[in-house]
Amino acid sequence: MAGAIGAEICSTLLLKASDGFAHPWIGAAALAGFGVTLFLLSRALLTLPLGLAYAVWVGVGSVVVTLGGVLLFGDHVGPGGVVGIALVAAGVVVINL
């Protein structure tokens, strides 16, 4: 599962770095990464319940990609976004308990 999450995070950040596919090699790397992501997620689904796996995959990915956007690309997250991301992170923790 961790591999699927990591691949998703890297692929999404690469997609942003491709600048709308203005940098085709970066865009191609993002697309390849998304393929790896889906393969690894499909493998995780062999042993994990669908709802749990998807919630964790999306939740952790969303939180880390948001932080990556702020740190790497100067994205702005307002107070509402901070609260929302904190709630997503809390939801991932709760669903795993």
User: What would the pLDDT profile of 8-29 be if each residue is shown by its tens digit?
Assistant: 999 999 999 999 999 999 999 9
Q: Are 14 and 68 spatial neighbours (Cβ–Cβ below 8 Å)?
A: no
Q: Are 27 and 15 spatial neighbours (Cβ–Cβ below 8 Å)?
A: yes
Residue 95: its pLDDT value, please?
82
Mean pLDDT of 42-48: 95
The first and second tokens of residue 56, run together, are 């964790």
Q: How many structural domains comprise the chain? A: 1
**Domain assignment of residue 88, given as a range:** 2-96
Mean pLDDT of 50-69: 93
Q: Decide if pLDDT at 38 tops 90.
A: yes
Mean pLDDT of 61-90: 94
The CA distance from 57 to 75, in Å, is 22
The first and second tokens of residue 33, run together, are 């990464």
Mean pLDDT of 71-91: 94
